[in-house]
Amino acid sequence: MARHTHSQGSKRSAHSSLTQETDNTEAILAKFAQAEKLEAQLSAIDDDKKAKRKLPAGTDQKAQGLRAKLCQVLIEVIVADPVISHSKDASKRLWHSCFYSRVNELRQELWKEKSRAKKRQVSGGDVSGSEKIVGVVNERLKGSIKEALKLYEWLIDKMLKMLQPMIQSQSTNVSENSENDDYEHAVVA
């Protein structure tokens, strides 16, 4: 019968922990690969829009779905491993691909519609239709910005909760060290 010693248990535990970390890293890297594919699909749609190609019906909904999925994937990796996420610019990619591109698109649409309204007004035409469109686009823009803010507030909250145990642990260590320093100073005096 084999005897199980404490050091064998520690080695198994260390090996298990290392295997788990490796699996976790591989899963995160797989998520980044998925994010890159989603980013490429969004980029292709954006390129088609910039080239003013005729886009198939439902392209905006497809882009919105891709953005939502990309946002989900990037949030998952940021929360799962902030260090790897930072090294792969996940937060920058989250902002740019999921929010900035949409906000910028709406800002351009708003600018174009305001410009049309101004031209109509100068020529004495009816601007009420343009004003309605400006209002709708403006509300969509505000909604996109609010959505981004809501997500970032949630993410900050989540990260603070993850850091809280570490902060408390460091705080405990600092106060223990301070007590020891006080004790050493009192003994020396």
* pLDDT score of 58: 82
pLDDT confidence of residue 180 = 53
Regarding pTM above 0.75, the answer is no
Measured CA distances, 107 to 65, 102, 165 (Å): 20, 9, 42
Distance in angstroms (rounded) separating the CA atoms of residues 150 and 152:
6
pLDDT in tens, 35-84: 999 999 999 988 887 787 777 888 889 989 999 999 999 999 999 999 99
Q: Tell me the HSE value of 67 on the side-chain side, using a 13 A CA sphere.
A: 21
Per residue of the chain (189 residues), give pLDDT as tens.
Answer: 455 555 555 555 555 555 667 778 899 999 999 999 999 999 998 888 778 777 788 888 998 999 999 999 999 999 999 999 999 999 999 999 999 988 998 999 999 988 888 888 888 878 788 888 899 999 999 999 999 999 999 999 999 998 887 777 776 665 555 555 554 544 444
Euclidean distance between CA atoms 12 and 7, whole angstroms: 9
Report the residue count for the chain. Answer: 189
